[in-house]
Amino acid sequence: MENADFWASINAIISDGFLPEGLRKLEHYAELFIDGRLVYQRFSPFEQHGCSAGGATHVIASILAGAEVSSNPTAQAVLDFEEECKCGARQAAYIERWAKTVGCWTEVTDEDLPLALGEQIAEGGEAKVYDHGSTLIKAIGLDYFIQPILALDRISLHNAYFPETRLTVLGFGRDHNDEFKIIVEQPYIQGAPVSDAEIMEYMNHMGFVLRSAKNWTYATPEIYLSDMHDENVLRSVSGTIFVVDCDIRINTPELRQGGIRSLMTEVRIAP
Query: Tens of pLDDT along 93-107?
Result: 999 999 999 999 999
Q: How confident is the model at residue 74 (pLDDT cuts 50, 70, 90)?
A: very low
Q: How confident is the model at residue 241 (pLDDT cuts 50, 70, 90)?
A: very high
Amino acid 61: pLDDT: 98
- In DSSP terms, which residues pair with 128 in a beta bridge? 123, 139
pLDDT surpassing 50 at residue 59: yes
Overall average pLDDT of the 60-72 stretch: 88
Strands 192-193, 233-235: pairing is: antiparallel
Amino acid 71: pLDDT: 64
Instruction: Give the Cα separation of 123 and 138 in Å (integer).
Output: 9
pLDDT surpassing 70 at residue 147: yes
247, 225 in Cβ contact below 8 A? yes
In the sheet that 135-140 helps form, which strands lie side by side, from edge to edge? 105-106, 168-174, 180-187, 135-140, 127-132, 120-123
139, 109 in Cβ contact below 8 A? yes
- In DSSP terms, which residues pair with 127 in a beta bridge? 140
Mean pLDDT for all residues in the chain? 93
Please report, in angstroms and rounded to a whole number, the separation of the first and last CA atoms in the chain: 7
pLDDT surpassing 50 at residue 237: yes
Overall average pLDDT of the 67-74 stretch: 70
115, 121 in Cβ contact below 8 A? no
Amino acid 103: pLDDT: 97
